[in-house]
A and B are shown apart, each in its own frame.
Chain A
Amino acid sequence: SAVISQKPSRDICQRGTSLTIQCQVDSQVTMMFWYRQQPGQSLTLIATANQGSEATYESGFVIDKFPISRPNLTFSTLTVSNMSPEDSSIYLCSVDRSSHGYTFGSGTRLTVV
């Protein structure tokens, strides 16, 4: 199954700043997915990233707040912009590996102070 390298694994950031999270997949994939997991909660889809086109965002998430890049079939970034304490969450990227299920990165644990 695919291996996803996600970084940083954790960060503590000041409010008002931005953080860019990177995900590198060890094989080419068409779609990459970005999720947020707030403390003690389930996973919520932020957006779907296709290579060569703009990401599509779920209700409640906007490009200005969570810009995504997808420059090639193995890499994507998610930026959390103008952070506030409410953005403190775990952010995960994911790809579909068919019979192996969806593989997730190890997550980025973000704390905004």
Chain B
Amino acid sequence: AQKVTQAQTEISVVEKEDVTLDCVYETRDTTYYLFWYKQPPSGELVFLIRRNSFDEQNEISGRYSWNFQKSTSSFNFTITASQVVDSAVYFCALSALNSNSGYALNFGKGTSLLVTP
């Protein structure tokens, strides 16, 4: 079975603070993919990152960084110096081969981030 847990339902920070969004996943597969998506109030889903299970390198993209640790089955997302425009719901997702649905995404429940001025 595949499962993604985002324990933080809502986070509120003041602009310029750093914030980390947690993601813990479960899968029996050795080959899998992890993702983060942003869903701003407008509703569209914005792809942020894709990471395969064999690549544990951390990644940085501007103010965004991701920490992938297979030992703890976690794929955490940090926003440095947060901005009001970062306010959105963030989803962590897992893709692993499923006989029924192929590599469909399994989403966590999402973390709603509010950044206030």
**Residues 4-43 of chain B, each 1 if its beta carbon lies under 8 Å from chain A, else 0:** 0000000000000000000000000000000101000001
Give chain A's interface residue range (CB within 8 Å of chain B). 20 to 34
Dominant secondary structure of chain A at its interface with chain B: strand
Q: Could you tell me if B109 and A102 are in contact, using CB atoms closer than 8 angstroms?
A: no
Q: Supply 7 further A-B pairs (C-beta < 8 A) apart from A58-B101, A96-B103.
A: A1-B47, A33-B101, A33-B104, A45-B101, A90-B43, A101-B48, A107-B44
List the interface of chain B (C-beta within 8 A of A): 35, 37, 43-45, 47-50, 91, 95, 100-110
Q: Could you tell me if B47 and A48 are in contact, using CB atoms closer than 8 angstroms?
A: no
Q: Could you tell me if A100 and B47 are in contact, using CB atoms closer than 8 angstroms?
A: yes
List the interface of chain A (C-beta within 8 A of B): 1, 31, 33, 41-45, 47-48, 56, 58, 90, 92, 94, 96, 99-104, 106-107, 109
Q: How far is the CA of A104 from the CA of B49 in the complex (A)?
A: 14
